[in-house]
Structure 1
Amino acid sequence: MSGARLGRVLALAAASSLVLAACAGGGGGGGETGGDASTVKIGFMGDLTGENSAIVIPPFNGAKMAIAEYNAKNPAVKIELEEYDSQGKPDQATSLITQAIGQDKIVGLIGPAFSGESKAIGAQLEENKIPSVSPSATNPGLAANGWTYWHRVVANDDDQGPGIAEFLVTAKSPKKAFVLSDDQEYSVGLADAVAKSFEGKGVTVERDKFAKDASDYSSTVTKVASSNPDVIVFGGYYAQAGRLLKQLRDGGVTATFASGDGSLDQQLVSGAGAQAAEGAVLACPCNIPSPDVTGPLKTFFDNYKKSANADPAIYSTEGYDSATAFIKAVEAGNTTSDKINEFLKTVSFEGVSKPIKFKANGEPENNSIFVYQVKDGILKLLGPAESAKLEG
């Protein structure tokens, strides 16, 4: 399903409210505009049609579902979800956010989904006083920019990197690790965090980096094969991870392969081939609900499946919670970007993914890391990183 079609449902649902907003002169905008709105606009930005869109469509579907549920209650102020398909490209995100702020007058942004695009537009959001909540951007440096309008609901790679390394040290007792990345912001940041954690535990680390758009990794494969490491960790997305893992296995490299949340998708298996992917370890600051969950997660699972016509996947719960943070702000009577941002400073609620509350720098208070493993061609949750056990 294309990104364009996905957004139209909410736009149509809010059409009558838009007419009222136009008559009243309300509806969106940064700073103190939109105060008398009967409809406000919240954007969603991320890769909806690009090569790594499988990571972003689930949180988009989660956000869309949360807002649809809210609008179905016929509140005094409805929310219109505007979508911005950046395809994960920072330069495209820069162009889109200019449109979102200047033309569409959004009062908040869910996303950006990836770290590179988050870094690229953070200053624009800050300058225009547009609050953002990312469901999935994990680069640690994003919290160090002094931005006061930026938030995320996931643990960063300074948590995820050690989670991967510590799990592998416990499970495999490696003496040597080979840590790889491509040249994307997220990939480099996660690889750095993993390498630092390995070194802190006395594991010898070798490194290599390749271009994001490369298709032939033979040089890297040769280096890894020559090193003969006990474990390999790639900090990057599944589109690159699948090709890399296939070529490593074809090159005779049999060491345990691990990666982070960017590779946590079934397309890692299809990209590498089931045989090559078997046993691969994936970490994520996300707890993906399974069909046998109970309680609120069961309700979410069933509603999401009806809404998206698919089971919940990576960051679907985080997308829902990111949208819910904005929904709670609007429910409390905040319709300008400034007032919404002030509300986000103190928001606290039991989210679907975890309890949601932000630190002063926009980081989440809760930062659990979970470990998954490819077993019989399927991604299987092993549990929290501190207690998960490797299978096979």
Structure 2
Amino acid sequence: MSGARLGRVLALAAASSLVLAACAGGGGGGDAGGEVTSVKIGFMGDLTGENSAIVIPPRNGAKMAIDEYNATNPKVKIELVPYDSQGKPDQATSLITKAVTQDKIVGLIGPAFSGESKAIGGQLEESKLPSVSPSATNPGLAQNGWTYWHRVVANDDDQGPGIAEFLVKAKAPKKAFVLSDDQEYSVGLADAVAKSFESASVTVERDKFAKDASDYSSTVTKVAASKPDVIVFGGYYAQAGRLLKQLRDGGVTAMFASGDGSLDQQLVTGAGAAAAEGAVLACPCNIPSADVTGPLKEFFDKYKKSANADPAIYATEGYDAATAFIKAVQAGNTTGEKINEYLKTISFDGISKPIKFKANGEPENNAIFVYQVKGGVLKLLGPAEEAKLEG
């Protein structure tokens, strides 16, 4: 082969490589004309770990929204890419690196939990990758100056007072015992609850234990000696169920309350129906039931058909987080930077609530709802400011 001919072949090969690279970049697939025909949106959270029941419903909601969108045969389709962090910050860190460098996602639904959100927020910012969490509630997440971070739920500075103020109204406690484990979310919610109790002149005692502990006898002894009127645990149902069982086994009968992390039927199975009866749970989420009407009824029916299960915690928020990305893509935005700019202006009636973001990524709507375990099942009592205890 002559030198001139070899040069032409090499030049053609180099040009072809550049075209292929251009089509593959930015998380989107392209057609023969180089136009983006698909983008990848990630979903990150605990999909197989001990608290996965909090994360599978929002994943199912997000998937349903994207499946509905893709079924309309849009110009740009969306591929939902799951990342199972098991709620662990170190796993989230390695997964987001893969998501950005290999999978080239253009947005992320999640992370689901606060600890993993804190761990990768800086990476998302550096990568100019917008995220919308359906369930991370730690207040500090909005205080990092991140411009690519968003959530569609009220934070613990809303949820904590919602729990405390409801209990003050319902039980008029003089003394409260506030507990947490050592997870980011748990500590943040417990702090917010304790601060709100103290503002209402309720005496507060505190204790904290390790996330992976299984024997809470030291904590139970402290609570029993304190004789509180109410107990509030800021944490997830896996720990809450064990804790509640051991408290009841230790003779502690005070009303037990917790937040969104414990709002799952597995709290009842973990504690036992008798121990869990009457427990109060608060959540910045409105879980639709079979007897609702309007858009929530339509969502309930579609979700049950899609997921083969009733909607559970944060199912509607997962749907709304995905819808925010869908609307951005529908408007012609297919890169992280352009999608993020669009999210700054987005405003629509979601299934869970009206969706609009403040400049720091917080939602404009911050409603808190109260649930109670009655007859072994979780029952919605209503918005915190209107709800009344049963029994």
TM bucket normalised to smaller: over 0.9
- Mapping of 1:66-215 within 5 angstroms? 66-215=65-214
Aligned residue in 1 for 2:31: none
Q: 2: distance between equivalents of 1:332 and 1:249?
A: 54
TM-align CA RMSD: 1.3
Whether the aligned pair in 2 keeps the contact of 1:27 and 1:37 (CA below 8 Å) is no
Aligned residues: 368
Structure 1 position 37, deviation (Å): 1.6
Aligned residue in 1 for 2:313: 314
- Mapping of 1:52-67 within 5 angstroms? 52-67=51-66
Whether the aligned pair in 2 keeps the contact of 1:28 and 1:41 (CA below 8 Å) is no
Q: 2: distance between equivalents of 1:108 and 1:272?
A: 38
Residue 346 of structure 2 aligns with an amino acid whose one-letter code is V
Aligned residue in 2 for 1:271: 270
Residue 26 of structure 2 aligns with an amino acid whose one-letter code is G
Structure 1: gaps of 5 or more residues: 1-20
Whether the aligned pair in 2 keeps the contact of 1:239 and 1:268 (CA below 8 Å) is yes
Structure 2: gaps of 5 or more residues: 1-18, 29-33
Aligned residue in 1 for 2:221: 222
Residue 25 of structure 1 aligns with an amino acid whose one-letter code is C
Residue 162 of structure 2 aligns with an amino acid whose one-letter code is G
Residue 372 of structure 1 aligns with an amino acid whose one-letter code is Y
Q: 1: distance between equivalents of 2:189 and 2:111?
A: 18
Q: 2: distance between equivalents of 1:372 and 1:301?
A: 18
Q: Against the structure 1 CA distance between its residues 276 and 63, is the aligned structure 2 distance closer, same or farther, given a 3 Å change threshold?
A: same
Instruction: Show CA shifts across 1:220-246 (max 9, x none).
Output: 000000000000000000000000000
Q: 2: distance between equivalents of 1:244 and 1:125?
A: 35
Give 3-state SS (helix, strand or coil) of 1:311's partner: coil
1:350 aligns with 2:379: no
The TM-score normalised by the length of structure 2 is 0.93
Q: 2: distance between equivalents of 1:148 and 1:51?
A: 31
Q: 2: distance between equivalents of 1:23 and 1:199?
A: 59
Aligned residue in 1 for 2:7: none
Name which one, 1 or 2, has greater alpha-carbon Rg.
2
- Mapping of 1:340-379 within 5 angstroms? 340-379=339-378
Instruction: Show CA shifts across 1:357-391 (max 9, x none).
Output: 00000000000000000000000000000010011
Structure 1 position 179, deviation (Å): 0.1
Q: 2: distance between equivalents of 1:25 and 1:239?
A: 45
Q: 1: distance between equivalents of 2:20 and 2:75?
A: 15
Give 3-state SS (helix, strand or coil) of 1:215's partner: coil
Whether the aligned pair in 2 keeps the contact of 1:40 and 1:79 (CA below 8 Å) is yes
Whether the aligned pair in 2 keeps the contact of 1:29 and 1:337 (CA below 8 Å) is no
Structure 1 position 170, deviation (Å): 0.2
Give 3-state SS (helix, strand or coil) of 2:275's partner: helix
Instruction: Show CA shifts across 1:139-169 (max 9, x none).
Output: 0000000000000000000000000000000
Instruction: Show CA shifts across 1:81-102 (max 9, x none).
Output: 0000000000000000000000
Structure 1 position 36, deviation (Å): 3.5
Structure 1 position 303, deviation (Å): 0.4
Give 3-state SS (helix, strand or coil) of 2:26's partner: coil
